[in-house]
Structure 1
């Protein structure tokens, strides 16, 4: 198994975070196996490149003060507008021990229900898998080709086809096929949205008209 190395630098305090981000670094923390919690920073460009190479659950080698630490990215915060990674959490791991990771569920096949006009939804997009770091999958595929309108595919129905130890219960819903909405339902939905918009506009007008009186009272 090939692991990509990521160079880090020590971060002394939270006061540095703003300046680090301005320089293209991501404030982060690493903790876990034989590793005391330590504040670090990694180059955002390098982190993004590595994640593209090894995947969201991929193992990477962190170079921390000259020491190499095998780690996985457990969490990160991202600016919803700019897309900038604001902070990252790394878990130091023992390559010979199993760990639990969240893995994306990918539906494959053309569902019968979708062909008949239904829409495919995923009540749960991930499952928790207990696995050794070297065997972490990028995703888990589930065949939905025989799924009809109104039916839901649960974990129990496909567990024996998954080559990993999935932790959720058998009734854990993975994929559903919803019935298409009738013209009446769509019209009712549009009508409800129009009413809500009208009420919001009316509230805004009332608030605007009352504002001067409140200011005078103050």
Structure 2
């Protein structure tokens, strides 16, 4: 993963009021820490950092120019406004080229499994150790033609060269199960309701049908 270049400003004002002013200007407060150095507080252009994080994913690697001083930084935490969904703050950790880091990488499932099966992603992320400049955006698992009962464990994943799996090898990643029919689901629901003592009131339609007068041909002789 190549580092995306982005220019930043040094942040000199702090506090909630200063942070609000930064965001109103379509910018994002951030910090770079690590390697025993004092944290570097910066301000990033809002639209550009949004695109960089969208492109690089959860572990986006950025080459941040802070007024002429270059910082190779790995994204560690992104704070998102829960309502407006804009970026409120970003934490980066400083890294060096060739340095290995531990990251969580998402798992992407591709392909179509066999008919009447259901593909369940049990573990959406795995932990790996990789060079900071070679972190995969995701790890792909193909279920093309997979039959019922197929299991994919962490040890089955194909990792990029130079990466090491840290998640337990026997961790279940993907489980291909048998797809249940609607009739089967309805039967299980009815059985569960019966065991729980749940009774449904007679519907108006059923009640009306029950109260309807018998047809002439159905009357007793």
Q: TM class by shorter-chain length?
A: 0.7 to 0.9
- Trace 1:28-107 onto structure 2 (pairs within 5 A): 28-33=30-35, 35-107=37-109
Q: What's the counterpart of residue 213 of structure 2? A: none
User: RMSD between aligned alpha carbons?
Assistant: 2.8
Q: Aligned-pair distance for 1:108?
A: 2.4
- Please tell me whether the aligned partners of residues 154 and 174 of structure 1 are also in contact (alpha carbons under 8 angstroms): yes
Q: Which SS does the other structure have where 1:147 is aligned?
A: coil
Q: Aligned-pair distance for 1:127?
A: 1.3
Q: What's the counterpart of residue 165 of structure 1? A: 164
Greater Rg, structure 1 or structure 2? Answer: 2
Higher helix share: 1
Q: Aligned-pair distance for 1:34?
A: 5.2
Q: What's the counterpart of residue 125 of structure 1? A: 124
TM-score (norm 1): 0.74
Q: Distance in 2 between matches of 1:77 and 1:32?
A: 19
Unaligned runs of 5+ in 2: 194-221
Q: Could you list the runs of 4 or more consecutive aligned residues of structure 1 that deviate by over 3 angstroms after TM superposition? A: 52-56
Q: Aligned-pair distance for 1:11?
A: 4.3
The one-character-per-residue Cα deviations of 1:142-183 (angstroms, maximum 9, x if unpaired) are: 222353334431112x14x33331111111121122333342
Q: Distance in 2 between matches of 1:46 and 1:3?
A: 10
Unaligned runs of 5+ in 1: 193-218
Q: Distance in 1 between matches of 2:107 and 2:180?
A: 26
Q: Distance in 2 between matches of 1:58 and 1:45?
A: 15
Q: Aligned-pair distance for 1:50?
A: 2.2
Shift in alpha-carbon separation, 1:68–1:178, aligned structure 2, 3 A: same
Q: Which SS does the other structure have where 1:86 is aligned?
A: strand
The one-character-per-residue Cα deviations of 1:83-126 (angstroms, maximum 9, x if unpaired) are: 211111111111121111221211222222xx2x2322211111
Q: Distance in 1 between matches of 2:139 and 2:119?
A: 17
- Please tell me whether the aligned partners of residues 117 and 148 of structure 2 are also in contact (alpha carbons under 8 angstroms): yes
- Trace 1:144-163 onto structure 2 (pairs within 5 A): 144-145=143-144, 147-156=146-155, 158-159=156-157, 161-163=158-160
